[in-house]
Structure 1
């Protein structure tokens, strides 16, 4: 983990880290992103593959309103970023075609928002949601700000997966031998996914964790399915 990612991880997790509370983690991520990127606000919405909204957080009431509007209206940069799996960067809302978001753009303008930047929270084929960064002034993100925003999205997703894995691990019952058995099964599954996808072991581990999170399953159960060949990973696996 580089210095930028390490600093952001500390901001998101808090000192000491706050375990088992994704809502608190998301709120800290939003506040830290808004402050670091000199934005008027930042919001995160967790979404399913079908586009349904799960938990969400915002750095301030105006941003919460802007996030809510996108889901009430069914349009906006958050939707586009999630669907396209790519950042949506709008440095000047006034220059966007009225046909793109016919209801959202006027509402955002009336609320004083002039620029919005949306970054999907994703890992491989798995998407968990979107980080939105809002500004009351027009203008693009600098190169450094863009890298920082992308790092916020990446670190937030990783922290969520770690929290999910930690909660599952602490829920295990049994003695040390049982725990070691679970860990060995996970390592075996990581090796199998590494071969299936042709990726490094770190990415294989991340894909298994992302799958477990997205499907609301325990990490050990997913690992067991991989080992017993009930689950096979490919690059398009949701």
Structure 2
């Protein structure tokens, strides 16, 4: 039954342009399972990666936050190679991921369910589900999440098979790695400029992107190029 469901998911999301595959899969997952947001992230064997796509802003913040802090359910799922299901972050998260949990709760995220995408021992990425309310996934919802994770694994492999000759990664996947590097660099610069921790620095970067209605990566590039600077006495100035 599981393989039938995976084939159905792939048939539905692949019935369109290749560039929109990750977005369609995440949107379909958010419809099939009652969660607030879904994120798809790339993760290399060396532990590097970045967000490929998310269904909403809250999920995007959570994806970037865990990558920047190096902690959280999704990082553990990738490292250990098994799902991490946190149905109530307020109860179980603070002792394991204090910085991430504090920021997640402040952002209104109450539960996180992270599913590693892998083939044998090879890590490809993560499918991450976020919810504003507490509560476990029931048996059917968990089966759906695992089916979507398997479908996402197949999708990433197919994208990689179609990469241009001589390129190590498909352009869509290379973009995820590159953007993560620039966001991480910008966050580090803000910690020095604004005299804050990594989590607060990322939130400042996210807040500026939101208020200026610009993509996070574009704001990060401005910080790295020193066109935008954050200061302790005010959140930002240009």
TM over 0.5: yes
The 1:35–1:103 alpha-carbon spacing in structure 2 relative to 1, beyond 3 Å, is same
Q: Distance in 2 between matches of 1:97 and 1:61?
A: 21
1:126-175 deviations in whole A, cap 9, x for unaligned?
Answer: 1111111011111110111111111111111112212332456xx6xxxx
Does the residue aligned with 1:79 lie in a helix, a strand or coil? helix
- Whether the 8 Å CA contact 2:51–2:63 is kept in 1: the answer is no
| Alpha-carbon RMSD | 2.3
Aligned to 1:25: 21
- Whether the 8 Å CA contact 1:46–1:130 is kept in 2: the answer is yes
List runs of 5+ in structure 2 lacking aligned partners. 171-238
- Give, in angstroms, the shift of residue 66 of structure 1: 1.1
The answer to whether residue 5 in structure 2 is matched with residue 4 in structure 1 is yes
Aligned to 2:81: 85
List runs of 5+ in structure 1 lacking aligned partners. 172-212, 218-238
What is the aligned counterpart of 1:56 among 37, 46, 52?
52
The answer to whether residue 120 in structure 2 is matched with residue 124 in structure 1 is yes
TM-score (ref. length: structure 1): 0.65
- Give, in angstroms, the shift of residue 48 of structure 1: 0.9
Deviates most, 126-135 or 54-63: 54-63
- Give, in angstroms, the shift of residue 5 of structure 1: 1.3
Does the residue aligned with 1:103 lie in a helix, a strand or coil? helix
- Give, in angstroms, the shift of residue 53 of structure 1: 1.3
Q: How many aligned positions are there?
A: 169
Q: Distance in 2 between matches of 1:59 and 1:91?
A: 20
The 1:167–1:35 alpha-carbon spacing in structure 2 relative to 1, beyond 3 Å, is same
The 1:97–1:71 alpha-carbon spacing in structure 2 relative to 1, beyond 3 Å, is closer
